[in-house]
Amino acid sequence: MHINQREIFLKHIGQTSDSPFMLEIERAEGIYMYSTDQKKYIDLIAGVSVSCLGHCHPKVVKAVQEQVEKYMHLMVYGEYIEHPQTRYAKMLTDFLPSNLNCVYFVNSGSEANEAALKLSKRYTGRPKIISMVNAYHGSTSGAMSVLGNEYFKNSFRPLLPGIDFIRFNEFDDLSRIDRSVACVIVEPVQAEAGIILPENNYLQALKNRCTETGTLLIFDEVQTGFGRLGEWFAFMKYNVVPDILCIAKAMGGGMPIGALVSDKKILDVFQSDPVLGHITTFGGHPVSAAAACATLETLKSEKIIENVNSLGKAFTGRLRHKKIKQIRGAGLFLAVELENTDLNLQFIKKLRKQGVVTDWFIFHDQAFRIAPPLIITEKQIDEACEIIIKTLDEL
Ligand code: PMP
């Protein structure tokens, strides 16, 4: 039975690398995943910054069950008044700045970014887009067009024209944003580049330049949103409000959903010239939206984000080892840089065998990722760090 599933996985399921993790998980709860061969794993990836409340949080499970019994899919996004969506939109916009007052629901991070790029072109009537070197915004053709790494996109050309790349944190490059540019899309903390934080008020300078040139500023908070950095959103941490906020991943607490949030006067241009400017069958699916409501409510009521910075410090305090060169990041979003790539890749494999799951970054394979569920406890951090240090000792 066990071998059979592995064979089917390799033979009949499309693969994206020649070395998948191949963990066969039977159930998952909190920060732990349990495999069919009765092993217990600590999850330091959280499905790539998704499971903010841990796996199968009871409040999210309950919200899903209740919604499934009422209705599932009814109609394409935006035609019917679906209460999970209206409840979520009100709850979210109530605590965002006044220009982020309208939510457009989609299915994923890529789709949120795709829609945001289209919206910016349509709203400004301008042809150009600026993105950042080493940016990751998703895998669909539009999102891949703004991906800042040649290796990962070159085979898929031709991609979208009119895209220019500037360097994150480089003030000199800001002059390339001019009145022909519809939008700048940026991760306020670059994730797959290996967690690069903005320096010296870079985001404020970027915002100023966008304001001067009438260019829309899109923050891709697909990975940084919902408390990962110890604040609800990176834009709150750095005090710079974007024109369009893109969210997904942790939004649904384990269910697939994303959104772009902007001013209603901007989002409303999707209504005309042409009508149906962005449409999506499953965007804001009621079951996912119900899960998103429960996630937002639980993050708030249980004050989970308030602990994130001290939990992050617990990791950085305990992870002292001569093979660790640097730890970068904020909150529970950390990149642990080892001496070299070979060591890091060996380490990740060995650590998994020891029952702790981590990964490298798409554009930076010399560091491993610490992005566990935000509900991790200090005791569980001790448990994880002990295994990490022991594994580094053994390499
Ligand atoms: N933007 C960022 C910053 C991401 O990290 C990711 C996914 N890793 C995406 C966009 C794409 O999201 P999705 O996979 O849901 O399309």
What is residue 221's predicted lDDT score, i.e. its pLDDT?
A: 98
Rounded Cα distance, 102 and 81, in Å: 15
Give the C-alpha separation, 180 to 127, whole Å. 7
Strand boundaries in 310-394, DSSP class E: 324-330, 333-338, 356-357, 360-361, 364-370
Q: Which residue, by CA, sits nearest to atom 13 of ligand 1?
A: 109
Query: CB of 363 closer than 6 A to ligand 1?
Result: no
Contact criterion met (CB below 8 Å) for 295 and 249: no
C-beta contacts of 316-319 below 8 A and 24+ residues apart = 318/381, 318/382, 318/385, 318/389, 319/385, 319/388, 319/389
Nearest CA to ligand 1 atom 5: 223
- Average pLDDT of 293-305? 98
Instruction: Enumerate the β-bridge partners of residue 259.
Output: 105, 247
Q: What is the pLDDT of residue 391?
A: 98
**Whether pLDDT at 3 is above 80:** no
Q: Is the CB of 248 under 6 A from ligand 1?
A: yes
Q: Give which of 52, 149, 8 is closest to 372, Cα–Cα.
A: 52
- Residues 177-212 as b or e (16 or more Cβ within 10 Å = b): beeebbbbbbbbbbbbbbbbbbeeebbeebbebbee
191 close to ligand 1 (CB < 6 Angstrom): yes
Instruction: Please write the tens of the pLDDT for every residue from 155-213.
Output: 999 999 999 999 999 999 999 999 999 999 999 999 999 999 999 999 999 999 999 99
Residue 1 in this model has a pLDDT that exceeds 60? no
pLDDT bin (cut points 50, 70, 90) of residue 303 is: very high
Output the DSSP codes for 196-241. B---TTHHHHHHHHHHHHT-EEEEE-TTTTTTTTSSSSHHHHTT--
Q: Distance from the CA of 273 to the center of ligand 1, in angstroms?
A: 29
User: Residue 110: CB within 6 Å of ligand 1?
Assistant: yes
Q: Is the per-residue pLDDT at 368 higher than 70?
A: yes
Q: Label residue 46 exposed, middle or buried (CB < 10 Å: 0-12, 13-18, 19+).
A: buried
pTM of the model: 0.97
**Ligand 1 midpoint to CA 151 (Å):** 18
Ligand 1 atom with the smallest distance to the CA of 113 is 10
Spatial CB neighbours of 107, under 8 Å, sequence gap ≥ 6? 256, 257, 258, 280, 282, 283, 285
How large is the average pLDDT for residues 39-65?
98
What was the pLDDT predicted at 2? 53
Helix (H) or strand (E) holding 35: strand 32-35
- 17-21, 69-73, 156-160, 182-186: lowest mean pLDDT where? 17-21
Which of 52, 110, 280 is the best mutation target for the ligand 1 pocket, counting ligand atoms within 8 Å of the beta carbon and taking the most? 110
Residue from 249, 360, 362 whose mutation best tests the ligand 1 pocket (most atoms within 8 A of CB):
249
Say yes or no: CB of residue 136 within 6 Å of ligand 1. Answer: yes
Classify 254 as helix, strand or coil: coil
Say what angle helices 378-394 and 341-353 make with each other, to 10 degrees: 120
- Percentage, residues of the chain above pLDDT 90: 99
Q: Determine the pLDDT at residue 115.
A: 98
For the CA of 258, the closest atom of ligand 1 is 15
Asked whether 137 lines ligand 1 (CB < 6 A), one says yes
Distance CA 271, CA 192 (A): 34
Residue 123 predicted with pLDDT over 90: yes
364-370 β-sheet, strand order: 324-330, 333-338, 364-370, 360-361
219 Cα to the center of ligand 1, angstroms: 12
Structural domains present in the chain: 14-56+304-394 (3.90.1150.10), 59-301 (3.40.640.10)
Coil, strand or helix at 116? helix
CA 92, 96, 97 angle in degrees (round to 5)?
155
Does ligand 1 have an atom closer than 6 angstroms to the CB of 190? no
Dump the DSSP string for 73-100.
--SSTTSS--HHHHHHHHHHHHTS-TT-
- Res 259: pLDDT: 98
pLDDT of residue 153: 96
Tokens at residue 268, please? 């409303």
Ligand 1 geometric centre to CA of 138 (Å): 5
